[in-house]
Amino acid sequence: MGREPANLNINDEKNRNAALRPRKLNEVIGQREVTQRLSIAVNAAKKLKEPLGHILFDGPPGLGKTTFATVLPNELGTSLQMTSGPALSKPADLLPFLTNLEEGSILFIDEIHRMPRVVEEFIYPAMEDFRIDIILGEGLNARTISMNLKRFTLIGATTRSGMLSGPMRDRFKMHEHLEFYSVEELSQIVRVNAKKLEVGITDEAAFELARRCRGTPRIANARLWWVRNFAHSEGDGNITIDIAKRALDMQAVDSEGLDKQDRRYLETLIQVFDGGPTGVEAIAATMNLPADTLSDEVEPFLLREQFVIRSPRGRIATPKAFELLGKKPKPEKPPERGLFD
């Protein structure tokens, strides 16, 4: 019989995600090259007795940017402060974080590309010289006070690194891009996290769940929670291949890992726009969704799995997408003949 976990706080999504995250670099599954480079940087920082260099993580959502940011303080034995770009509307919003930093501690800014330019420029001297310049007063009576900070590490995470300014990007000592995970890696993550949740799962069920998770650990964890609940409600608490398939089918997650929103995107592109080419703004307007949601959350997987391609003229559905929806690709237009052909 499956058992309820005795020591995990699972009352909300934040606690659930934290409970399933690895705590050390050697517990991280996947992203092997990134993990190796970070291990070298951590070992060097310990031997040199200096802070870790500033690090920028980029990649689609759910691939482990926050996980790495929470693992590194555990490796270094230091503290972590967390905030996000949208929460820092003015330099004063950043002051409590910078002034409360300890020697060698880590400041993590998620979605750092959404930080206003005035805040970005304010943090430049903090990153380079570990100091900040505070302006007191206005006009002729204004004066600048320079405040020294403890040496710290800034870790930034972004889903859109191209939106970062060049000067900001250049101030990071390490720039790590996170890739989608293989089915084998996700299967291993599912088995490890099922053990943390004290629920039994067969290898076949773990593989089935992994191949429907879009190459993304965050989605794998979310679907594991759903399958676990389904197993307790409709079975004996253990996750078998039959339980996994039934649970995921009920969530409308198909064998390719596409969910309702993915299929709706493809249906819009094929049925409304005749397979494209068309711009993401037009698709987003038709679906009544923000264009950023499509470009950041939906399109990366569809592009990777070759359901959609990007061209200078817009998005185009591939024959694979037409086949998925049971549609016939539109016939290619013959090239236009010139006047003297």
Q: What is the Rg, in whole angstroms, of the alpha carbon atoms belonging to the chain?
A: 24
The verdict on whether 153 is a catalytic residue reads: no
The verdict on whether 66 is a catalytic residue reads: yes
The verdict on whether 278 is a catalytic residue reads: no
d(CA 78, CA 229): 36
**Catalytic: which of 21, 218, 228, 315?**
218
Residues 6+ apart with CB under 8 A from 39: 25
Q: Which two tokens stand for residue 318?
A: 């591939």
Q: Which two tokens stand for residue 234?
A: 């409709």
Residues recorded for the chain: 341
Residue 153, SS3? strand
Angle value at C-alpha 48, between 47 and 53, nearest 5 degrees: 110
**Catalytic: which of 78, 83, 158, 159?**
159
**Catalytic: which of 16, 35, 83, 110?**
110
The verdict on whether 131 is a catalytic residue reads: no
**Catalytic: which of 21, 65, 223, 245?**
65
Q: How many CB atoms within 10 Å of residue 280? A: 18
Stated as kind and residue range, the H or E segment containing 147 is strand 143-148
The verdict on whether 110 is a catalytic residue reads: yes
Residue 177 phi, psi (nearest 5): -100, 125
**Catalytic: which of 66, 216, 278, 318?**
66
Q: How far is CA 314 from CA 165, 244, 267, 331, in A?
A: 25, 37, 16, 18
Stated as kind and residue range, the H or E segment containing 200 is none
**Residues with active-site annotation:** 65-66, 110, 159, 218
